[in-house]
């Protein structure tokens, strides 16, 4: 569920509910740091909703840092689409 879409502040947030497993909050904030550079801050919070969710959250905690390249590619690609750069 989209909870924040602030085009002016360059911020978007989602809440993701995985019934019986977890409730997640995903925040993406962008900041221009030059004419052709953007800094992205991505925060993903998880709350376990069950014992199954406990394992999911633990696995996520070890995997999320490895997803940096994925997020960088995805966000950069979308920004290029939007700006034509």
Q: In what order do the strands lie in the sheet with 11-18?
A: 2-6, 11-18, 22-32, 38-48
Segments of the chain assigned E as strands = 2-6, 11-18, 22-32, 38-48
Q: Indicate if the pLDDT at residue 85 is higher than 80.
A: no
Kindly report the pTM of this predicted structure: 0.77
Structure tokens of 3? 């909870």
Q: Which H/E stretch holds residue 73?
A: helix 68-83
Of the two residues 46 and 78, the one the predictor is more confident about is: 46
**Residue positions counted in the chain:** 85
């Amino acid at each position: 569920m989209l909870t924040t879409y602030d085009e002016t502040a360059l911020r978007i947030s989602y809440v993701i509910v995985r019934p019986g497993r977890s409730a997640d909050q995903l925040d993406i904030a962008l900041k221009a740091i030059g004419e052709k550079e953007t800094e992205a801050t991505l925060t993903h919070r998880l709350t376990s909703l069950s014992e199954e969710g406990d394992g999911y959250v633990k696995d996520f905690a070890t995997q999320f840092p490895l997803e940096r390249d994925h997020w960088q590619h995805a966000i950069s690609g979308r920004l290029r689409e939007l700006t034509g750069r």
